[in-house]
Chains A and B, each alone.
Chain A
């Protein structure tokens, strides 16, 4: 028998818990191995020391203290007994703690969610009244909710379709992006509608000038065709007259198909800006009054408007 094996068996050996054969093997090894014999003496000394420790008895008033606790349990004991004992279920306190923490977490999580749901219902009702295509409503709804929750700086995305000549083919293909989910805070509009989105505000729908050809017969005045360069100049004039600026960081860029302009005007001038766009033929009319217009008008801070011009083909 090896020393390592004997070392493991010494504990049972001193307690006389080994079977006779193993006990004999251990004893044979101990007579021949001074190291293991020393270890045995050390173990026996340890056991003597432990067994010799003072027996600390209960204090004289122990029984009275037990009776006191039986007759007047603490508040915590009463609560625990009231909660668990009638059920006859042994619920570890850890489990009870986890359950409590879960409930608290759910409540904490649900509180802002409830606010969001409330906002959702408000926005939903606003969007429901608009003329957005059905597939866009959900996306616009999510976007509006996210924007409201995020309380991002005041910025408006405006996508305008430039008027097309009367001779142009009114049959317009729907752009794939018109049904795509919103991305990067920009709302893509269909060819037949221009849609504006203000972060932190409900969305509203504007009927783009491109709708003019289809409705030309019903209108007294029909907008003249505009190219993107002319549209840019008109917008620039309008912004300047409203004491706004065309931001240098956003010159009319893009390909011949799409141009983007970033302007900044006083928020209160926003309705007048829209009106000037309408007069310029870039915007025919509101499908409905944008809910945010008055709010924007009441604000004093600068309002950024990102305008994307999509020329008709």
Chain B
């Protein structure tokens, strides 16, 4: 209940900043950016898999939000609205950079050939704590590369649910899928990722 109240308060705060912005207070937009920039940046980073690309997508997200804010309907939360913009930008960018994405797609069984210090990742050990034997940096790289291998829609639901922890309803609103589609896409993406990470988790 406290969480719901906190959510409602945060939502109202966002709405007041947006109204202030629409009334000519430019600094209100800066508050919105500061409040949501980390979440947006992380989503962009996990979607794109590259820091530079993530920065570019996140900046573009807020630029578009700035220009489209007068069309905000005060129904959903600003975070949902701005993440919708971010996901659209990332997915369009991924489509246009498809060949680069394909270059980054790394099979889990070819990690031994990767050039990022992961040559010792040919782990046959199926112990549940195999992942824990890796350093945090190595885990990050391995998980990110596995996510990079997912197609755009599966990657989107995985990032929004399993990394950002958004609800199915929020994901449906952001992606435009119905909740049933979100569930099935998420289930398939998880199965795929677990198969790729078999022996490590």
A49-B201, A63-B33, A65-B55 given; A42·B163 CB < 8 A = no
Q: Is A176 an interface residue (CB 8 A)?
A: no
Q: Is B175 an interface residue (CB 8 A)?
A: no
Residue of B nearest to A57 (CB): B38
Q: Is A230 an interface residue (CB 8 A)?
A: no
Q: In the bound complex, what is the Cα–Cα distance between A55 and B197 (angstroms)?
A: 21
Q: Is the CB of B66 within 8 A of A57?
A: no
A56-B45, A65-B59, A70-B63 given; A43·B194 CB < 8 A = yes
What 1/0 flags go to B124-146 for Cβ under 8 Å of A?
00001001000010011001100
Q: Is the CB of B162 within 8 A of A63?
A: no
In chain A, positions 38-84 with a C-beta closer than 8 Å to chain B are 41-43, 45-47, 49-59, 62-63, 65-66, 69-70, 73
B159 smallest CB distance to A (angstroms): 9
A62-B58, A65-B55, A66-B63 given; A50·B162 CB < 8 A = yes
Q: Is B17 an interface residue (CB 8 A)?
A: no
Q: Is the CB of A53 within 8 A of B38?
A: no
In chain B, positions 159-176 with a C-beta closer than 8 Å to chain A are 161-163, 165, 168
Q: In the bound complex, what is the Cα–Cα distance between A42 and B58 (angstroms)?
A: 33
A interface with B by C-beta (< 8 Å): 7-8, 10-12, 15, 17, 41-43, 45-47, 49-59, 62-63, 65-66, 69-70, 73, 93
B interface with A by C-beta (< 8 Å): 30, 33-34, 37-38, 40-42, 45-46, 51, 54-55, 58-60, 62-63, 66, 92, 96, 128, 131, 136, 139-140, 143-144, 158, 161-163, 165, 168, 183, 186-187, 190-191, 193-194, 197, 201
